[in-house]
Amino acid sequence: DAGVIQSPRHEVTEMGQEVTLRCKPISGHNSLFWYRQTMMRGLELLIYFNNNVPIDDSGMPEDRFSAKMPNASFSTLKIQPSEPRDSAVYFCASSFTGATNQPQHFGDGTRLSIL
């Protein structure tokens, strides 16, 4: 079975540029999560979608960050304009959410470096 697929795996770009990260969740999962991981702040939840609808975006750092989920099989996280402090590993995770919390399945992540 294919897991969560993220692209690109690595991204290096100059500050001020627009960055778009992509995620394909596991087929049949109805919840999708975007996380950011840094040494200083650990693993932080940025935004949570359920059935393609954003449920909680309180973790999105600022207006430069935006996320969309146009359908059940695709989501994007966009940073515009990017800044060096956005450098981190960004993970997408999906799960099937029913009556109880189910395990989250993580993609391999996108390692983002903003110069």
Partner 1 sequence: GQQVMQIPQYQHVQEGEDFTTYCNSSTTLSNIQWYKQRPGGHPVFLIQLVKSGEVKKQKRLTFQFGEAKKNSSLHITATQTTDVGTYFCALDNAGNMLTFGGGTRLMVKP
Contact letters for partner 1, residues 41-80 (x by CB under 8 A): -xx-x--x-x----xx------------------------
Region class of 55: left (phi > 0), else alpha (psi between -120 and 50), else beta: alpha
Least Cβ distance, residue 32 to partner 1 (angstroms): 11
Report residue 25 CA to chain centroid gap.
11
Contact letters for partner 1, residues 23-42 (x by CB under 8 A): --------x-x--------x
Least Cβ distance, residue 27 to partner 1 (angstroms): 18
Q: Which is nearer to partner 1, 15 or 23 (CB)?
A: 23
HSE-CB for 28 with a 13 A CA cutoff: 5
Q: Classify residue 66 by burial, with Cβ atoms within 10 Å: 0-12, 13-18, 19+.
A: middle
If one asks whether residue 107 binds partner 1 (CB under 8 A), the answer comes out as yes
Q: Which is nearer to partner 1, 28 or 42 (CB)?
A: 42
Q: Classify residue 65 by burial, with Cβ atoms within 10 Å: 0-12, 13-18, 19+.
A: buried
Binding-site ranges for partner 1 (CB under 8 A): 31, 33, 42-43, 45, 48, 50, 55-56, 91, 93, 95, 97, 100-101, 103-109
